[in-house]
Chain A
Amino acid sequence: MRKVGVIYRRELASYFRSPIAYVVIAAFLSLTGYFFSVTLFATRLAEMRFTFANLSTAVLFIAPILTVKALVDERRSGTDELLFTAPLSVPAIVVGKYLAAVTIYGLMLLVTGIFPAVLAQLGDPDFGPVISGYLGLLLLGSALLAAGIFASSLTHDTMVAGMVGFVMMLFLWSFSWLSNALPGRWGEMAARLALLERFEPFLRGVVDTVDILFYLSCVFVFLFLAVRVVDRRRWS
């Protein structure tokens, strides 16, 4: 795992070598800036709740774009032959790439810090829910990005990986809607497994260790699956 850093640095730099990082960050910021301004003018409230809710939707579209190329490109360009024949473990490759995607996402969130700053100028926002909201967004995004990395491990076609990733994330995100359709315990379980359901408390300023652990276990499971898929393909 010592090589995570080597992979991470290359991957992070590659986001900025292509227009992808710039375009995605610009799109994300213009969208969220628009949401924020509109909400602020409409409600005239010094709070981030609605903006965060909108952001959580935007993440759903951003995550597949940030992760789709991660493992697909290695296979397409044949560079996987370099990585798999170098003294380097598969988990190091997957984790390095994942952390690079999380870093880009973190940078995007960092820039949206301008919104609470504006609120602080205009009014007197409660910073508790703002901080917990950012933590929630970071965790939600981390889970979705891990799912995206997993999708990227499944195929060598960028479009297919993107589509699979997006649909998978949409299901994970909206799992809680099943709770009304399924009876009793099953419905309850569906609600507990939904990424979005876990995000709600963060908006209200409630940080529960269980929710944090839930997101982190999502990350672990998806990265583990991605490693297994990559490994399995080499053996078959």
Chain B
Amino acid sequence: MISVQNVTKRYGDTVGVQDVSFEVGEGEILGFLGPNGAGKTTTMRVITGYHPPTSGTVTVAGYDIVTQSHEAKRHLGYLPENPPLYADMTVAEYLHFVAALKEVPRKERRGQIDEIVDMLNLGPVYQRLIRNISKGYRQRVGLAQALVGRPPVLILDEPTVGLDPKQIHEVRQVIKSLGGRHTIILSSHILPEVSMVCQRIAIINKGRIVAVDHPETLSSRLRGNTRVIARIEGDPERVREAMLKIDGVLSVAHHQPETGPDGAARYEIEVEGKKDVRRNLFFAMAAIEAPILELRSVEMSLEDVFLQLTTDEAVEAGDESTAGEEEVVAGA
């Protein structure tokens, strides 16, 4: 439904995005993840035809966004980072204006707008001036605007920004329910949001796509070493010594200030590869008579993956993480 091929966008001398390519299949929800300033908004603006690309091509529903822009834009709904609202119009006037812009036949406008207003719970503000409604409602009017005309492709730039937790939940449910019928690209810098709503994730950093994959694969492929967190009673020096003797333990970090009320100290143990050291740890601690009060292994979360991919230090730190990154890109 959406195909982005080798898109580069320059603003004068600064590069917005560089050689970005990816595809989104029909009915799929793709999450666009990256730190602020990574090029999420630029990419979305290129896809929607707001900024034509410096080089490369974008097709939406089979139409080129530059050469067949009119047809392409007819298939597109876009919620920019700041909802494009006219403060001096009522919600009703605004949505009817958008419907006219989007070439919704006059007879269908009323019914379609009513349906969208119901879905997004905009009823209470329908006749009010946009100037006077809350930020949460504005964001939802922005989303409503993108849905007018029932476009098969939706581009949503940070759709949950500025909403309270309840509204965030509602909007996520709405977006999720739109998947299947609509092809959606959704940008966010909130990881749980993306992993909850999206089937695939593209991570962008410094204008380049660094990974495109399913959320689960993304975290498992990038999982380098495992970590085990333990709270153990006893002399920290002796405990550390015993731990380091266990096969597979790379390092032990001991957090003295985090000693709990039960007098146990907290240890973070980094383990090589995917080895499970918990059994050996139990016997080693039993041998030195240091009781384990808590023991759990920590998987690398999507958050860690994200940080690893988008932080220079992490990428440069070791060959391992760099290799992981290449692997994912190749698999995408």
Within 8 Å of chain B (Cβ to Cβ): is A185?
no
Is A86 within 8 A of B82, CB to CB?
no
Q: Are B102 and A87 in contact, CB atoms less than 8 angstroms apart?
A: yes
With CB as the reference atom, state the residue of chain A lying closest to B48: A85
Distance, CA A234 to CA B69, complexed state (A): 14
Of A73-81, A109-117, A163-171, the one touching chain B: A73-81
B98 within 8 Å of A (CB atoms): yes
Check B179 for interface membership: any CB of A closer than 8 A. no
Q: With both chains docked as a complex, state the minimum distance between the C-beta of B245 and any C-beta of chain A, in angstroms.
A: 61
Selected contact of B97 from candidates A10, A84, A87, A89, CB within 8 Å = A10
A233 to B223: give the CA distance in the assembly, Å. Answer: 44
The yes or no answer to A121 lying at the interface (CB within 8 A) is no
- Minimum CB distance partner of A7 in chain B: B101
Known: A17-B88, A87-B102, A234-B50. A81 touches B11 (CB 8 A): no
Chain A binding site: helix, strand, loop or mixed by DSSP?
helix
How many A-B residue contacts, CB cutoff 8 Å?
72
Q: Mark B57-100, 1 if CB is under 8 A from A, else 0.
A: 00000000000011101101010101111111100010001101
Contact assessment for A14 and B97 in the assembled complex, using a CB-CB cutoff below 8 Å: no
A85 in contact with B50 (CB, 8 Å): yes
CB-contact partner of B74 in A3, A6, A87, A89, under 8 A: A87
- Is the CB–CB distance between B101 and A17 below 8 Å? no
A86 touches B51 (CB 8 A): no
User: Would you call A6 and B100 a contact (CB within 8 A)?
Assistant: yes
Which residues in A have their C-beta under 8 angstroms from that of B83? 78
Are A3 and B85 neighbours in the complex by a CB distance under 8 Å? Answer: no
Whether a CB of chain A sits under 8 angstroms from the CB of B52 is yes
**How many Å lie between the Cα of A148 and that of B76 in the bound state?**
33
In the assembled complex, how far is the CB of residue A28 from the closest CB belonging to chain B, in whole angstroms?
22
Are the CB atoms of A77 and B84 closer together than 8 Å?
Answer: yes
A88 at the interface (CB under 8 A from B): yes
B318 within 8 A of A: no
The answer to whether residues A81 and B88 also contact, given A6-B101, A88-B101, A234-B52 and a CB cut-off of 8 A, is no
Q: Tell me the count of chain B residues lying within 8 A, CB to CB, of chain A.
A: 32
B12 interface residue (CB < 8 Å to A): yes
Residues in A60-94 with C-beta less than 8 Å from chain B: 77-89
Say if the beta carbon of B188 comes within 8 Å of chain A.
no
Q: How far is the CA of A77 from the CA of B138 in the complex (A)?
A: 13
- Which of B74, B84, B97, B98: most chain A CB closer than 10 A? B84
In whole angstroms, what is the CA distance A235 to B103 when docked? 25
CA distance A235 to B101 in the complex (A): 22
CA distance A87 to B63 in the complex (A): 13
Interface bits A95-135 vs B (CB < 8 Å: 1, else 0): 00000000000000000000000000000000000000000
Contact across chains for A79 and B73 when beta carbons are under 8 A apart: no
Q: Is residue A236 within 8 Å, beta carbon to beta carbon, of the partner chain?
A: yes
Given A84-B49, A234-B52, is A14 in contact with B78 using a C-beta cutoff of 8 Å?
no
Contacts of A235 in B (CB 8 A): 51-52
Determine whether B139 belongs to the interface, using a CB cutoff of 8 Å to chain A: no
Residues of A close to B86: CB separation below 8 A: 10, 14, 77, 79
**B63, chain A: closest CB distance, angstroms:** 11
Contact of B103 among A79, A80, A87 (CB under 8 A): A87
Complex Cα distance, B80 from A85, in Å, reads: 10
Within the complex, what minimum Cβ distance (angstroms) separates A160 from chain B?
Answer: 21
Q: Which of A8-34 contact B (CB under 8 A)?
A: 10, 13-14, 17-18
B47 (CB) vs chain A CBs: closest residue? A85
Chain A residues, CB < 8 A from B87: 77
Q: 5 A-B contacts, Cβ less than 8 Å apart? A: A14-B88, A78-B80, A85-B48, A87-B70, A87-B101
Residues of chain A whose beta carbon lies under 8 Å from any beta carbon of chain B: 3, 6, 10, 13-14, 17-18, 77-89, 234-236
State the B residues within 8 Å of A (CB).
11-12, 45, 48-52, 69-71, 73-74, 76, 78, 80, 82-89, 93, 97-98, 100-103, 145
